[in-house]
Amino acid sequence: MEKIQSIFAENKKAILWGAALGAIFFVISFLSFRVYESTVSIMITAKSEAASFQMDEVVANISKLPETLAFYDRLLANNLDVRDVVYSKNQTQRRDFWNEIVSVKSDKKSSIIEISIESFDENVATQLANKTARTLFDTANLYYNVKTDVDLRLIDGPITKKVSISQWPWLLLASLALGFAIGFVISQTSSLLLEALSKQFEKIKEWKQMRMQESSPTKKIETEEPMEEEKTSGSDERAVEAVAAEPKKDAEKSLEDKELETLNKIIQQDIYPNFPEMPKHASAPDNLPIADSSFYMADEKMNEEKVAEANEETSEAEQLHREPTPEELKKRLNELLKGKI
């Protein structure tokens, strides 16, 4: 018992795999390897008083005829289209083969027998059952007088249906043997594969750790650079916002000044043109001759009178062309807009 338990413990996986695969193979083969069974029903009746007293023996004897090798040979002789698959075998093997195909059932309470033929082909099973019934009529006539003693009648069939294979124990053993063989191979290969995979995973982990150690300083530098970029970008954004805000304030302040300047330019261009300034005279040279002072005194008086007249004219012009007040500017701007000036 201890040895059996140790063997079971060592080969536990192989046994489990074998049992599971064997069950699967048996179910698949049992469902796929089904055969067709065709059945005919024959009723045996007695025509004479002597036959009626021996009716049970007559029915039993006739029901045994289809299982004999002579009956199989007569079937092949009467039906040339039926092929003998086991013609090269000995008599015992040929009889066993025929008994695997044909089966006869009889009931003691009745005189009806049922002959069934199995085949993988539905048409073959139907035709072979019909030919077996005819061969039974001919064979029974050899042992009994069909005209005076016994009468055989086909009352039903052939009826063909699909049934499971009759030799299922052999199928079960074959399925289990195949399952255990494949299970042993799978258990051995799976253990080897698991060992190889575990080694590969360990190598991959070691390689990843090496890569992480090599790439750790570069990662720190990479993480520091984005922080500096964020700081510089934040300061740049603030500077841009301040620079953008300053022109807005200056523009708002200079709007009124620009309006006043435009008004002054328009008024000066319309009323008094803007003449260029006169050039200044150069000083006289030192070597010029000096004239009489009396002559110049008279000229000075004349010049003073002209200067006084010019000053009066300039004062009048200055009064006319002085800088207007804001109220006058607004008034002139309204007149310009209305088209009065």
Q: What is the pLDDT of residue 114?
A: 92
Query: Which one, of 242, 230, 74, lies nearest residue 143 by Cα?
Result: 74
In a domain, 28, yes or no: no
Q: What is the pLDDT of residues 286-314, one digit of tens each?
A: 555 555 555 445 555 666 666 666 666 66
Q: What confidence score (pLDDT) does residue 34 get?
A: 72
Mean pLDDT for the stretch of residues 70-77? 91
**96 occurs within a structural domain:** yes
Q: Residue 62 falls within a domain, yes or no?
A: yes
Total number of domains in the chain: 2
Indicate the pLDDT class of residue 165, thresholds 50, 70 and 90: low
Q: Which residues pair with 42 in a beta bridge?
A: 113, 154
**Residue 52 lies inside a defined structural domain of this protein:** yes
- Range of 101's domain? 35-163
- Mean pLDDT for all residues in the chain: 72
CA 11 to chain centre: 40
pLDDT at 216: 61
Strands 112-119 and 150-163, bridge-based pairing: unpaired
Q: Report how far residue 169's alpha carbon sits from residue 173's, in angstroms, rounded to the nearest whole number.
A: 6
Which letter does DSSP use for residue 322 in this model? S
Which one has a higher pLDDT value, 176 or 301?
176
Q: Residue 105 belongs to a domain with what CATH number? A: 3.30.70.1130
Is the CB of residue 153 less than 8 Å from the CB of residue 43? yes
299 within some domain: yes
In a domain, 340, yes or no: yes
115 domain residue, yes or no: yes
Asked if the model's pLDDT at residue 16 lies above 80, the reply is: no
Going from the C-alpha of 30 to that of each of 122, 164, 169, 258, the distances in angstroms are 18, 7, 10, 107
Q: Tell whether 7 is covered by a domain.
A: no
Domain boundary among 163, 191, 214: 163
Choose one of 115, 145, 163: the last residue of a domain.
163
The residue from 138, 163, 188 where one domain ends is 163
